[in-house]
Structure 1
Amino acid sequence: MSKITQEVGQKIKSFRKSKGLTIQQLADAISKSKATLSKYESGDITLDLVTLYNLAAVLNIQVEQLLYLEPRKPSILANNTPSTFFKNSTRFYSYFYDGRSNKLVRCIIDIVAQPDTNRYKTVLYMNIKDWKHYQECENTYWGYTEHYDTLTTILLKNQATPLENITINILASFLDSEKKWGLMSGVSFRPFMPIALKMLFSKIPLEENLELINELKISKDDIRTMKIYNMLSVT
């Protein structure tokens, strides 16, 4: 049993549970036995490519989401990217505050591949319960991260509800820092309406305390800026 097969197996299990499928139901859908799928999930046996693609299709996810991804390694992001904050990392931790439920929402962003220059395949897992099983989340978004000289833009689509698109803009990502503020805009379904909110990005998980929550809430300074410019902005 290798670390890679264990990681892939854990992802299969997490996505299966997030879709509400039993081992038998998923096994039937990919024409495998329950025992074989159990061994895939435990990492006891290695998947072939055809089975990997079949699993992704049944789970309605991209095949890259099942692949092993070593976080915080420079091998995926090219050295010529203009974004220093994103340069040597493939996983980021993100937070925002949901006033509807009065709680902090935690997210993980995985940058999984680079199909074009300065453009990277990206997955956002939103409202996760814990970092270890982050695939078991409320919503999953798939799209791209694009780097420019002074701005990084993340364009994503909800995998379950394609109508829901979100855009995240992060200013001055060429400056290195452990944390960065971004502005997320898009459509909310609780209730259905356009929204914009502050989103904090970090290279490591942050301590979830009152200080962090207050940072994420709209502050008096934010309101003052909105009155001046008639818009929500973050720097």
Structure 2
Amino acid sequence: MKTDINLEIGRKIKSYRKIKNMTLEELSKKIYKSTSTISKYENGQIKIDVESLYLIAQAFDININNLLYIEDEYILDKGKDFLPAFFHDTAKFYTYFYDGRIKKVVKSKLNIISKINKNTYKVLMYMNYEDVKYYQICENTYTGIIEHYDAKSNILLTNRDTPMEKASIQILASYLDEETKWGLWTGFSSRPMMPVSFKMLFSKRELKVNKDLEEHLKISREDIRFLKLYNMLSTI
């Protein structure tokens, strides 16, 4: 079934407007369009022009890419691409970590967008979304690359809205064909402002967030044992 792009973009506009606690009238004044026109944008009844889309993104204080409809399934060429087994079957991954500050599991989605060279690919990560159907509506968006090597894969990310925030994720033994893999995120927290590292679980399919997953993501006694042994936070 062909995707109705106008409807998908309209849904995103409406979702962001509600997140920003903005009425149709308030958005109308910011982009110099009537409320009826904005309503038609949100319902996918009329096609939105590029200039208006930029004005809406500015009104919401977001990147315009967050409003675009993007096919998130990059077609991998297994014959030419250097791909560890874990990354063979899909170009989209679901990631999870437990945030002790808010005491909840944070869901993210990593999309492999395009190939740069033999072992390097462009990626986008959407962190902390509520609805997986509209995962681009999220707290933080990261751009970056993933590099594949024989023993591990590296993901290097930059926060699109706060470029000073850099992060790296190391995934060990990605040559093993498994449904999930552990990664170690090393980066920066703004709440409070400090360097952080935490375990991040990567999955080829969406996982149900429940108590079992939450406990799986928390730092375990074994993690603490290795921390004391090596004086380093590590994951295998």
Q: Which residue pairs with 2:41 in the alignment?
A: 40
Deviation of 1:96 after TM superposition, in Å, equals: 0.9
In structure 1, the gaps of 5 or more residues are none
Q: Which residue pairs with 1:209 in the alignment?
A: 210
Instruction: Give the Cα–Cα distance (whole angstroms) in 2 for the partners of residues 54 and 201 of structure 1.
Output: 36
Q: Which residue pairs with 1:10 in the alignment?
A: 11
Q: Which residue pairs with 1:226 in the alignment?
A: 227
* Contact 1:187/1:193 (8 A) holds in 2: yes
Deviation of 1:2 after TM superposition, in Å, equals: 5.2
| Aligned partner of 1:119 among 118, 121, 139 | 121
Distance 1:23 1:151, change over 3 A: farther
Instruction: Give the Cα–Cα distance (whole angstroms) in 2 for the partners of residues 232 and 27 of structure 1.
Output: 50
Give the letter aligned to residue 126 of structure 2. L
Deviation of 1:199 after TM superposition, in Å, equals: 0.7
Instruction: Give the Cα–Cα distance (whole angstroms) in 2 for the partners of residues 26 and 91 of structure 1.
Output: 33
* Contact 1:183/1:198 (8 A) holds in 2: yes
Deviation by residue 1:9-43 (Cα, 9 ceiling, x = unmatched)? 22222233333433333343333322222222211
* Contact 2:142/2:160 (8 A) holds in 1: yes
Instruction: Give the Cα–Cα distance (whole angstroms) in 1 for the partners of residues 16 and 182 of structure 2.
Output: 29
Q: Which residue pairs with 1:91 in the alignment?
A: 92
Give the letter aligned to residue 116 of structure 1. I
Distance 1:81 1:32, change over 3 A: farther
Would you say how many aligned residue pairs link Structure 1 and Structure 2? 230
Instruction: Give the Cα–Cα distance (whole angstroms) in 1 for the partners of residues 28 and 105 of structure 2.
Output: 36
Q: Which residue pairs with 2:142 in the alignment?
A: 142
Give the letter aligned to residue 173 of structure 1. S
Q: Which residue pairs with 2:25 in the alignment?
A: 24
Distance 1:172 1:10, change over 3 A: farther
Deviation of 1:216 after TM superposition, in Å, equals: 0.5
Distance 1:170 1:12, change over 3 A: farther
Distance 1:136 1:31, change over 3 A: same
Name whichever of 193-202 and 205-214 sits farther off: 205-214
Distance 1:223 1:204, change over 3 A: same
* Contact 1:92/1:110 (8 A) holds in 2: yes
Q: Does 1:171 align with 2:172?
A: yes
Deviation of 1:135 after TM superposition, in Å, equals: 4.1
Give the letter aligned to residue 144 of structure 1. G
Instruction: Give the Cα–Cα distance (whole angstroms) in 2 for the partners of residues 36 and 64 of structure 1.
Output: 21
Q: Which residue pairs with 1:109 in the alignment?
A: 110
Instruction: Give the Cα–Cα distance (whole angstroms) in 1 for the partners of residues 195 and 68 of structure 2.
Output: 33
Give the letter aligned to residue 145 of structure 1. I
* Contact 2:106/2:127 (8 A) holds in 1: no
Deviation of 1:119 after TM superposition, in Å, equals: 2.6
- What is the aligned-residue RMSD (CA, Å)? 2.7
Distance 1:37 1:200, change over 3 A: same
Deviation by residue 1:40-69 (Cα, 9 ceiling, x = unmatched)? 221122223333344344434443332323
- Structure with higher Rg: it is 2
Deviation of 1:147 after TM superposition, in Å, equals: 2.0
In structure 2, the gaps of 5 or more residues are none
TM-score (norm 1): 0.81
- State the identity %: 42
Instruction: Give the Cα–Cα distance (whole angstroms) in 1 for the partners of residues 194 and 38 of structure 2.
Output: 40
Give the 3-state SS of the residue equivalent to 2:176 in structure 1: coil
Give the 3-state SS of the residue equivalent to 1:40 in structure 2: helix
Runs of 4+ in 1 over 6 A off after TM superposition: none
Distance 1:14 1:158, change over 3 A: farther
Give the letter aligned to residue 200 of structure 1. L
Give the 3-state SS of the residue equivalent to 1:120 in structure 2: strand
* Contact 2:121/2:146 (8 A) holds in 1: yes
